[in-house]
């Protein structure tokens, strides 16, 4: 379990300032030496302003300035053209990772949406504490259901502190290993996060279950020039 993803937000409430984040990262890295490697990135919100800036400065937001992008959705509204937006991110060479969908009530209410995004080529990441019931039974059930349907590619701590939002990766690893086997747990907690950190293809990409409301993902048009639908 050598990898851990927890990142700042990039939205209207919490502006993402990469220069400041990089400065803090360099300071921590200097103090710890090479015992732990840190990289920058953010939970990217699909706002119009963010998408326009991403179009010009993709490395500003991606993990370790490679090609993986953490995408976080609002709890109260999903963009009406979200499928097309995710598709355009992929056409631009980015690999969207949907973060903590099990904690989003709108996605939980329509669980096949996540399956469609995964069939579309996106990846999904759940929070370790969700698998342990720390975000309530609904989040736990959703995370376990998607895990069983082979729709999860990462388990991250999303740690905020040492008290109410600690790492808890060891306990979550053991829980996943009990349900899916240790090989899958190693992939979700270590091998896949390391590949995303280094900008490589994921070594573990299972075939997800088909969405119940559609056997095929939506057919999306290929754009003629580089711009974002939103």
- Domain ranges for the chain: 9-198
Q: What pLDDT is stored for residue 187 in this prediction? A: 97
Count Cα neighbours of 178 within 13 Å in the Cβ-side half-sphere. Answer: 9
* pLDDT averages per 10-residue partition of the chain, 230 residues: 48 66 80 82 88 90 94 90 94 96 96 96 96 96 96 90 80 96 97 96 94 56 37
Return phi, psi of residue 68, to 5°: -95, 135
Question: Could you tell me the fold of the domain covering 9-198?
Answer: TIM Barrel (3.20.20)
Structure confidence at residue 189 (pLDDT): 97
Burial class (CB in 10 A: 0-12, 13-18, 19+), 5: buried
| CA 33 to the chain's CA centroid | 27
pLDDT of the residue at 19: 75
Q: Give the pLDDT confidence score for residue 22 in this predicted structure.
A: 78
Q: Give the three-class secondary structure for 24.
A: helix
Decide: 97 and 125 in contact? Cβ < 8 Å. yes
Indicate if the alpha-carbon torsion angle 142, 148, 153, 159 is positive or negative. positive
Contact of 156 with 128, CB cutoff 8 Å = yes
Residue 216 is predicted with a pLDDT of 47
Determine the pLDDT at residue 162. Answer: 73
Statement: the pTM of the whole predicted model exceeds 0.95: no
- Phi, psi (degrees; rounded to nearest 5) at 133: 85, 10
**CB-based burial of residue 77 (10 Å sphere; 0-12 exposed, 13-18 middle, 19+ buried)?**
exposed
């Amino acid at each position: 379990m050598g990898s851990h993803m927890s990142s700042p937000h990039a939205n209207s409430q919490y502006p993402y300032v990469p220069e400041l984040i990089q400065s803090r990262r360099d300071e921590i890295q200097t103090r710890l030496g090479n015992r732990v490697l840190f990289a920058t990135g953010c939970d990217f919100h699909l706002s119009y302003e963010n998408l326009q800036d991403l179009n010009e400065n993709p490395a500003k937001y991606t993990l370790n300035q490679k090609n993986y992008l953490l995408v976080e959705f609002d709890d109260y509204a999903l963009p009406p053209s979200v499928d097309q937006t995710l598709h355009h991110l992929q056409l631009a060479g980015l690999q969207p990772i949907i973060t903590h969908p099990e904690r989003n009530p709108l996605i939980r209410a329509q669980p096949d949406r996540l399956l469609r995004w995964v069939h579309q080529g996106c990846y999904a990441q759940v929070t370790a504490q969700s698998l342990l019931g720390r975000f309530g039974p609904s989040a736990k059930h959703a995370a376990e259901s998607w895990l069983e349907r082979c729709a999860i590619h990462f388990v991250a701590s999303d740690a905020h502190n040492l008290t109410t939002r600690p790492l808890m990766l060891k306990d979550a690893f053991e829980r996943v290993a009990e349900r899916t086997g240790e090989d899958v747990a190693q992939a979700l907690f270590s091998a896949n996060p390391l590949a995303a950190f280094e900008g490589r293809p994921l070594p573990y990409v299972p075939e997800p279950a088909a969405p119940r409301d559609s056997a095929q993902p939506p057919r999306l048009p290929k754009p003629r020039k580089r711009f974002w639908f939103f």
